[in-house]
Structure 1
Amino acid sequence: MTRIDLSAIETLPNTPAVFLVHTEGREPYLARTSQLRRRLLRLLGERAAPSRLLTLRALATGIEYTLVASTLESNLVFYETARRWFPESYIEYIRLRFPAYVKLVLSNEFPRAHVTTRPGGGRGRYFGPFRTRASAEQFLDGALDLFQVRRCQEDLTPSPDHPGCIYGEMNMCLRPCQQIVGPDEYASEVARLSDFLHTSGQSLLAATAAARDRMSAEMEFEAAARQHARYERIQEVLRARDDLASEVGVLNGVAVTASVDPAAVDLRFLLGGAWCEPIRFRTAPDPGEMIPLDRRLREAASAVKPPPVTQKERAEHLAILARWYYSTWREGEWLPFASLDKLPYRRLVKALSKTGDGRDVP
């Protein structure tokens, strides 16, 4: 067996990295570290005395490593490396926790909504990711108060003899279980809920504001006051929605993080809930190049293409996004956008300047 040359390790940078130690007859050892050289010397160096600390000196046959400059980059490199080397167990290996989503179940004749942690299974629309399951449930409860959609989770067999529930008695459900309404009328209410979720509440806010203004113009002030109270209630519900929560299939944004190249930043686009290949963007043009920053950004963004991913991979990508974005240790900037042609370039330039260690961006 070939031993690792410690003198070669001594030349490695002592910076954050994801590394893999190949071992003889065993699975490789994958880990992250904030000090690459120190960590490898501790794993592979000689010990002056017996120790309980892990040592791979007698087993190691080779090393692979990738330098990283941000926690997001570390998470993504760690994830991709684990997928490659541990295809059956990488989720457990990297301890990936799936965030909560609101699912609008469309496979039932009488659709309903509930909270789940696995988007993509069955017919439905998914909205998230939320910070916690509790915040997703709080938002869903508030949203359902605005619509007459059922909250029961059973597969309904409508009948006039169905016992119903308290929400039907309180006129907070159309009571399809008791055949008070049919599938078509119930579907129209579900469509309103779906539009509310898809537009982040703007569809209902606009309709309520229009009704309030019309009633006010017609001097029906009591009715206008009720609509205004409803408008404020909608705003209160929307304030409970976490920052990232939107329809999963159209969740777009770009993370601007530090790069291992001190003259650049990394742009990591998320399109349709899936991470694209990173772009290493130099904050200053090359010598002799006179291309404006805005134009260089537009050229870089125009080359971004949505990656082909499975539903499972999209759920994993969103879990990594949620872990980074909702963490207390998040660094870098996150800029959401509706589509690439609506990318907020002015805000992106500011993010480049802020992320680039305070360097002036031309």
Structure 2
Amino acid sequence: MSVSPIFEHELSFSPELATEVLRAVPARAGVVALFGHSSTDRPFLMQSANLRRRLQRLLLPPEGQTKRLNLRDRVARVAWRETGSELESLLLLYRAMRTVFGADEARRKLRLSPPFTVRYAVENRFPRIYVTNHLRRRSLHTTFGPFASRLDAERYREAVEDLFVIRRCFLELHPSPDDPGCIYGEMHKCMAPCQQRCTDAEYHREAERALQFLNTAGQSLAAEHEAERDRASADMLFEQAAAAHARAAKAKSTGAIADALVGPLDRLRAVLLVPLRVATDVPQVQVFLFADGCLRGPELVSVLGVRLAKEQVEVGSSLFAQPRMMAAVALDAPGQHSEASSANAANAAELSPEERMLAVIAKLEDTAGASDTATLGDHLAMLRRWYYRPEKQRAGVLFQPERDAWPVRKLVRAAAKLAAPEPQVQPAPAEGDARSEADPRASVEPVTSSEQQ
């Protein structure tokens, strides 16, 4: 299958025309494909933060003896597509490699592995929770993730198991009073269904509490203990109230071990706002949507007309301190942008920023989701790679629905902050300059007595 339709630009290449071809390639981020002379050869695919510089290393004559890869004699065509963010480059490269090499080879080349999750084995007679990175379509509603690593998933699983008396073994149980049991049963950390210390109904009630804990990130168990604390406090049983309060605090701290992104995979929905790496006439950000097991996008949304208020810690929350918050904001100035930018501004003027954001999200929701669990694992791996970076290295922010609705105002404010230009840092004045700025008369040379005469 041809990969050419994925790319926007394509040029023929020959070693004699290398300089002219490379001059046409922009010095911007994107994904490039190098095609050989034979139609049966697979293209060489790669992403780069600077397409022209990367192609210069591959297609220009090597300087002296070097072991660098050089493809100038093997390339017949060059195709490329500019991208506005690193996440867009990763998605585009994944689609291109999947088209050329197939899903398995693309997954291997990009090192995409399904993230580790915590699964509740509901199909077992005695359910338990365990860590796995194998996804099953029928059990996505009881699979919770994605976690940054297996260590994080194991730490969360162990903390949850300490709150309930469900089994931790992975054996196929055949309950019998003669079963030797295990150490967890002796320590009363398990209901020991293997030794018939409990009925199936009793065990399932405890397992259902654990499932509710996973579904609510610990809020269900914390609310249960808080209600117990209030009852004990009302009955003047303060020691029992203190113990229930400690259990509620432990439930909350255990739920906080998992990141806010962690949840049932079948209900995982998120909007990703990513800043553009290139400057545009109209302030815009990229919008990605993760829904139905698929990372979709990007789509551009304009934040034209959104004015960011100063932080309250600086000027206070009073309108007297921020009178311009109520001032009208012009969407565009005449003659400031090109015709295309003016058209975008005219379209943006018809809708409010909130309506623009919702329209972009609705457009992304109309695209198809993941067709199989392997594709779901690939998109989860790309989401994990982008999200679980240190905050200083992660470009963009992620939002999830609040009460089954998107927090539109938060999305618009975050998009405006991402699209705002970085403040220009003025260089520190020299020692003499600082003196002259502090006192304008300092620049005037004093008059000596001889000059006065």
Normalised to the residue count of structure 2, the TM-score between the two structures is 0.74
Deviates more, 1:350-359 or 1:85-94: 350-359
**2:148 paired with 1:128:** no
Q: Given that residues 205 and 234 in structure 1 are in contact (C-alpha distance below 8 angstroms), is that contact kept between their aligned partners in structure 2?
A: yes
Tell me, in whole angstroms, the C-alpha distance in 2 between the residues paired with 1:222 and 1:258. Answer: 53
Structure 1 residue 59: Cα displacement: 1.2
Count residues with an aligned counterpart.
358
Tell me, in whole angstroms, the C-alpha distance in 1 between the residues paired with 2:399 and 2:77. Answer: 39
Q: Show CA shifts across 1:60-119 (max 9, x none).
A: 122222212222222212222221111131111011243221111123211111111222
Letter in 1 for 2:50: Q
Q: CA RMSD in A?
A: 2.1
Structure 1 residue 122: Cα displacement: 6.4
Q: SS at 2:76's partner residue?
A: strand
Structure 1 residue 162: Cα displacement: 1.2
* Counterpart for residue 400 of structure 2: 336
Tell me, in whole angstroms, the C-alpha distance in 2 between the residues paired with 1:299 and 1:96. Answer: 31
Structure 1 residue 47: Cα displacement: 2.7
Within-5 A mapping of 1:318-337: 318-328=380-390, 329-337=393-401
Normalised to the residue count of structure 1, the TM-score between the two structures is 0.92
Gap change, CA 1:287 and 1:95, over 3 Å in 2:
closer
Deviates more, 1:217-226 or 1:280-289: 280-289
**2:218 paired with 1:206:** no
* Counterpart for residue 119 of structure 1: 135
Tell me, in whole angstroms, the C-alpha distance in 2 between the residues paired with 1:225 and 1:294. Answer: 46
* Counterpart for residue 92 of structure 1: 108
Tell me, in whole angstroms, the C-alpha distance in 2 between the residues paired with 1:314 and 1:295. Answer: 30
Q: SS at 1:279's partner residue?
A: strand
**2:84 paired with 1:63:** no
Structure 2, gaps ≥5 residues long? 1-11, 305-330, 332-343, 423-453
Choose which of 12, 18, 34 in structure 2 pairs with 1:21: 34
Structure 1 residue 276: Cα displacement: 2.3
Structure 1 residue 3: Cα displacement: 3.9
Q: SS at 2:146's partner residue?
A: strand
Q: Given that residues 120 and 312 in structure 1 are in contact (C-alpha distance below 8 angstroms), is that contact kept between their aligned partners in structure 2?
A: no
Choose which of 355, 358, 361 in structure 1 pairs with 2:418: 355
Gap change, CA 1:75 and 1:3, over 3 Å in 2:
closer
* Counterpart for residue 308 of structure 1: 369
Tell me, in whole angstroms, the C-alpha distance in 2 between the residues paired with 1:108 and 1:150. Answer: 12
**2:314 paired with 1:298:** no
* Counterpart for residue 337 of structure 2: none
Tell me, in whole angstroms, the C-alpha distance in 2 between the residues paired with 1:159 and 1:202. Answer: 36
**2:256 paired with 1:195:** no
Tell me, in whole angstroms, the C-alpha distance in 2 between the residues paired with 1:40 and 1:200. Answer: 48
Gap change, CA 1:273 and 1:261, over 3 Å in 2:
farther
Letter in 2 for 1:22: F
Choose which of 141, 145, 162 in structure 1 pairs with 2:162: 145
Q: Given that residues 222 and 247 in structure 2 are in contact (C-alpha distance below 8 angstroms), is that contact kept between their aligned partners in structure 1?
A: no
